[in-house]
Amino acid sequence: MMSNMNSRMNKKARAYLTKKFGAYCRGCQALELERKLVVDHIDNNNSNNNTNNWQYLCYSCNEIKNPRCKERKERPLDVCGGGCDSLDRETEITINREKEPKFREYVELRVTEEKQVPQQDLINGGAEYCGCSIKTTARWLAKMTSSQGELRKKKVGNVTMIIIKEESELR
């Protein structure tokens, strides 16, 4: 949760975090020189000011953890100006580079071992495993099940399963 702590507490938190960890975003590793950092309450409880509940996040990573834009979309009078989308994209590029290979590995391993895995299970489990949002893993999985990918979807009852394509299905 982005902090709305008073300025004295904020100053204290910044001094503590900078000294203990250095002034960089715990999400994307951006330095304070590159991006403005905010003090985030890890458990999203703004009144929990234990030092181990603080971390630095840049605006983009904070937006991913605490997506205020999405809330705003539900309240259309409060327009966010569209800037949030571009921040999301920028952060997503950084995340993709680091985490997409990890997600692919995770999916390939599970599908190989279990033959067929529910789509939602891979999206949720992969997000947990890679530490990113299910929106992101859903997009990665969609790429893997595209006509270019090595996987495909298969309906089993009401559940969409992910399976490996047959040799003959691969182009």
Nearer to Zn ion, 66 or 124 (CB): 66
Q: In the bound complex, what is the minimum distance in angstroms from residue 10's beta carbon to Zn ion?
A: 18
Site for Zn ion in 26-55 (CB under 5 A): 27-28, 30
Q: In the bound complex, what is the minimum distance in angstroms from residue 59's beta carbon to Zn ion?
A: 8
Q: In the bound complex, what is the minimum distance in angstroms from residue 151's beta carbon to Zn ion?
A: 30
Nearer to Zn ion, 28 or 162 (CB): 28
100 Ramachandran zone, left/alpha/beta (phi>0; psi -120 to 50): alpha
Nearer to Zn ion, 30 or 130 (CB): 30
Nearer to Zn ion, 27 or 126 (CB): 27
Name the burial class of residue 94, with classes exposed (0-12), middle (13-18) and buried (19+) by CB atoms within 10 angstroms of its CB: middle
Q: Contacting Zn ion (CB under 5 A), which of 37, 61, 107, 161? A: 61
In 32-148, where does DSSP find H-type helix? 59-65, 68-74, 83-114, 119-130, 134-144
Q: List the structure tokens of 52.
A: 């181990």
Taking a C-beta distance cutoff of 8 angstroms, is the pair 106, 126 a contact? yes
Under the binding rule (CB under 5 A), the answer on residue 151 touching Zn ion is no
Name the burial class of residue 116, with classes exposed (0-12), middle (13-18) and buried (19+) by CB atoms within 10 angstroms of its CB: middle
Site for Zn ion in 104-143 (CB under 5 A): none
Under the binding rule (CB under 5 A), the answer on residue 25 touching Zn ion is yes
Q: In the bound complex, what is the minimum distance in angstroms from residue 37's beta carbon to Zn ion?
A: 8
User: Quick one: which segment of 15-23, 59-67, 145-153, 163-171 binds Zn ion (CB under 5 A)?
Assistant: 59-67
Question: From residue 85, how far is each of 41, 68, 123, 137, 168 by CA, in Å?
Answer: 23, 11, 22, 18, 40
Phi, psi of 157, deg, nearest 5: 65, -125
Interface residues toward Zn ion, by CB under 5 A = 25, 27-28, 30, 58, 61
